[in-house]
A and B are shown apart, each in its own frame.
Chain A
Amino acid sequence: MLTRRRFLERTLQGSSLVALGPTVPGFLASTAAAAEPGKDNVLVVVEMTGGNDGLNTVVPYADDLYYAARPTIGIAKDQVVRVDDHIGLNPGMRSFDKLLSDGRLAIVQGVGYPNPDRSHFESMDVWQSADPKRQAGSGWLGRSLNSVRVSAGQIPGVHVGTQTLPLALRGSATGVPTIHPSKPYDLDLALQRNNNYAVMATPAGGRSKGAGTNKEHDARRALIEDLAKLAPAPANDNLRQFVRRTSLQTYAAIEDLRNITRNDSPNNQVRFRGNANGELASELNLVASMIAAGFGTRVFYLSIGGFDTHANQLQEHQQRLQQLADAITNFFSQLDRSGHSKRVVLMTFSEFGRRVRENGSKGTDHGAGSCLFVAGPGVKGGVVGAHPSLATDQLDAGDLRHHTDFRRVYASLLGTWLGCDSAAVLGESFEPLPLLKES
């Protein structure tokens, strides 16, 4: 199989290939410098599925009410990763220390929506559709993809995972592909089971999997690429040129992805620190590699499960948060090394927080407003908004009362960061939060 570089070189040498010109910079852009500043910013959204216990994530360690409400699962003052004189992070999030001191982490407190729904599904739909009335059948990111700028032929949004496409990404004009480190998108050349062809392809006494060998697949890939390269595309025939260019880009992208996800690839030799060897870490690793490889994708969506902590939550919750924090920290280190971190912002969210008062099983039940993180070099680091009060008369049926509508977070990232009309995507105008550095 050709390497991408050899493929490009060979392609460029071909006599009829003058028209390929515009294809090349897209792949070869090894730094973000090629693009107009701000026009290729990337947003990575990480869903924390299950309802993350915000109170044990961002711990109000200076507040006695916290320890009163959580006699067995409260996190001791000397355990937290100190943020300021009032709050500290869960000890699992030690790796966020560096992001904090570098001013790359914003902690947004008291985020939610009016009349919170405590059902996982209903509340997740609210967050994903950005519609508390739950009438939208599409997602906030899906809608945004119809207006973000993306080079012709590039994929505006990618879902990384194994589940079905989340509502958040529905509603985009061309759809959003789902890929996974173990199953990136690729030409599917393999035989399906139970088909006529498999039976016919087997000569008497011959190979049982005749047409499935790597060598034959390589021959087919080569044929497919050759046919695209040889397609005539006169200079004034824009459509033919576009299709040909998109085909060649696609084959190069497939090969890039295959190289990125190969076990012996340099990208996979990153040494994960701490506990960052979970699924999220390898998924974010793939995202970082795609960004570095010059994929023009503007929005990535991932999820990490296990936050529905009804019982004995202390240790398990801490492990989850460590996976999250280590994966995110590692993601930005990888982007720093490839020189792309400046154009990447990552945000987390969960469908709700949990009750203030712990339950009888050393866990917590479904709650309402919570905190979230926004990370990246473009982020104005620090604490955004006050920690909601734990005083009984300030709670909403035993839950923290939110003071910041979650759509203000979305609006901040849609507008300034992605360059969309956030009011059009969200259906109304929301005042952005001061999450990003002035550029």
Chain B
Amino acid sequence: MRLSLASLDRIDPAEAWAPWEPSAGDPWDRKWAGHLYRRAGFGASWPELQEAVANGPTTTIGRLLTGHGGQDEFDQLMDELGPDSNSPVFAPTPFGSEAQLQTWWFHRMLYTRHPLRERMVLFWHNHFATSLLKVRQPALMKQQNILIRRHALGKFSPFLLEMSRDPAMLVWLDGNSNSKDKPNENYAREVLELFTLGVGHYSETDIREAARAFTGWHTNGQGFTFNRFEHDDDPKTVLGQTGRWDGDDVVRIVLEQPAAARFLVRKLYRELISEGTPPPDALLEPLASQFRDSGYDIAALVGTMLHSRLFFSDHAYRQRIKSPVEYVLGLLRSMEAKTTPPTDYSPTQQQPLDGLGQALFAPPNVKGWAGGEAWLNSATLLARHNLAWKIAQGTRGPLGITTQPGALIRKHVARDSGPNAEAVVDFLLALLLQPATGEIDSQARRKLVDFLAQGKPKSMPPEHRVRETIHAILLMPEYQLS
């Protein structure tokens, strides 16, 4: 079944979230495999695409949800690397000490055996948007990142409970100023407004009362400490429930509200399905019920979304603008780029994400990055263009990235078609964009072929032309979309 883009209001929600079945008219093919990998990972290499097409959607989605073998060892190693308590404290002048931390995560995202979970770590980093610019201790930010990874596909309630005790979060939202005599509302407000319910589902009184429940939840700069002398143990009334509540009770009460699942599902819809037309409430309701009834099981929710008919429809297809991280990792993975991961993660000056508008560990404020159209303006788009050229060249420059498109073509382009310009362009489009039939304008394809062939359509184009052609494809408007 395919749905057309004009009719979001008229879709039967039950039908939208039912599992998609490939059909003769709409088969499981490279287009849908590429779509799935762009959303549930950071894009796919050619071998991954081939494997996914062969395995079918159910198996492929299943593997994306569970990850591949070797991930635990990888996580253990990475948890030990990166910044520690001896790392320099963040200073807001010239070369930020955030570089070490950012490189550490960037390499985790690039080399992970479980890309979907890493993507969810990025999603939750943006949800619980905490910035090194205020926290200042790289080791605390790293600790929070590890906490997020543990819960990224787990259950939301223990996740929020741990996040409420996370030292970076406590610094970020002024936990230590939250005391019995002078409650600080910062954390309580964001729990209700940004982390669970959304504006309109609580009152200012609820915030004040919830803040009292979190009094005495402090940090000693390394971990959580409960300061009983600063905790207000008198009764509070939060969202209609009265008792001698502490922070854990607030989390429980908040997650009993129907608004919580609705708010989180809507946010995840924008992440996994579409940044286009906002969906009507009715469309999200089945997912919100499922999420609540499952005890806020994140993996189950993500699974339902990824298997759904709506996911494999025009409503979702290229209906997101790639974030800078998705753009960069996607092209590195497609090109099977070789990078030299540093083991010391010492601060370096230039990073792949510089100038693109998504400094990891430094979201602009507690609301996180706005996403969607806010990712692109002339300056950030140009930064993408110029980064794409650096990578397409295979420079071993400051980024330490090597690409070998000639070798990719020799390996993957069928020998019988011969390495002529037409075959190479079709391969590059399939590798980088996985377009639907007719999605790329025929004149655009023709221009790419003419550029690559330079009047010699029958012979293997020179390597530099191949790299320039790849660069041009990476700049296409279609390539900015996921």
**Which residues of A pack against B, CB within 8 Å?**
16, 121, 125, 129, 135-138, 146, 152-156, 158, 164, 167, 170-177, 185-189, 191-197, 200-201, 203, 210-211, 219-220, 223-224, 226-228, 230-234, 236-240, 242-244, 246-247, 249-250, 253-254
Contact = CB atoms under 8 A, between A and B. Distances in A.
Contact of B477 (A173, A195, A247): A247
A196 B396 contact: yes
B402 A196 contact: yes
Contacts of B441: 16, 230-232
Contact of A171 (B364, B439, B451): B364
A170 B92 contact: yes
A231 B476 contact: yes
Given A174-B375, A174-B377, A238 B444 contact: no
B6 interface: yes
B377 to A, nearest CB: 5
A243 B319 contact: no
The 4 A-B pairs at the shortest CB distance, nearest first, are namely A137-B133, A201-B464, A177-B379, A174-B357
B321 A243 contact: yes
Given A155-B378, A164-B94, A171-B133, A197 B464 contact: yes
A227 B475 contact: yes
B475 A247 contact: yes
Contacts of B386: 187-188
Nearest to B90: A137
| Interface core residue of B319, B375, B376 (most chain A CB under 10 Å) | B376
Contacts of B275: 239
Given A153-B373, A240-B478, 13 more contacts: A16-B441, A136-B92, A153-B376, A156-B377, A174-B357, A188-B385, A192-B395, A192-B397, A201-B462, A231-B444, A240-B477, A242-B376, A246-B376
Contacts of A138: 92, 133, 364
B370 A187 contact: no
Contact of B378 (A135, A154, A170, A242): A154
A176 B355 CA distance: 8
A123 to B, nearest CB: 13
Interface string B446-482: 0110010000000000111001100111011110110
B378 A153 contact: yes
Interface residues of B, number: 73
Nearest to A197: B393
B393 A191 contact: yes
B389 interface: yes
B318 A185 contact: no
B11 interface: no
A167 B365 CA distance: 16
B139 interface: no
B444 A226 contact: yes
B330 to A, nearest CB: 15
B369 to A, nearest CB: 6
A153 B467 CA distance: 28
B481 A175 contact: no
A122 to B, nearest CB: 10
Contacts of B481: 239-240, 243
Given A196-B402, A231-B477, A239 B377 contact: no
Given A188-B389, A231-B476, A239 B463 contact: no
Contacts of B134: 135-137
B316 to A, nearest CB: 11
A224 B472 contact: yes
24 contacts: A16-B441, A135-B134, A137-B92, A146-B365, A155-B377, A170-B133, A174-B357, A174-B379, A186-B382, A192-B397, A195-B394, A195-B397, A196-B395, A197-B395, A201-B464, A211-B464, A223-B448, A223-B472, A224-B472, A231-B441, A231-B477, A232-B441, A239-B372, A243-B376
A30 to B, nearest CB: 19
A174 B295 CA distance: 36
Contacts of A155: 377-379
B380 interface: yes
Nearest to B463: A200
B5 A237 contact: yes
A158 B385 CA distance: 18
B479 to A, nearest CB: 9
Nearest to B392: A197
Interface in B338-389: 355-357, 359, 362, 364-365, 369-370, 372-383, 385-386, 389
Contacts of A238: 276-277
A191 to B, nearest CB: 7
A224 B388 CA distance: 13
A138 B372 CA distance: 23
A250 B378 contact: yes
Contacts of A173: 357, 364, 369-370, 374
| Interface core residue of B93, B131, B379, B386 (most chain A CB under 10 Å) | B379
B92 A230 contact: no
| Interface core residue of A129, A137, A196, A210 (most chain B CB under 10 Å) | A137
A211 B468 contact: yes
A154 B377 contact: yes
Contacts of B444: 226-227, 230-231
A227 B447 contact: yes
| Interface core residue of A146, A189, A192, A239 (most chain B CB under 10 Å) | A239
Given A129-B92, A174-B374, A227-B472, A194 B379 contact: no
B443 interface: yes
Given A195-B395, A220-B472, A243-B321, A236 B5 contact: yes
Contacts of A189: 389
Contacts of B477: 227-228, 231, 233, 240, 243-244, 247
A13 B356 CA distance: 33
A170 B275 CA distance: 27
A244 B386 CA distance: 18
Nearest to B370: A173
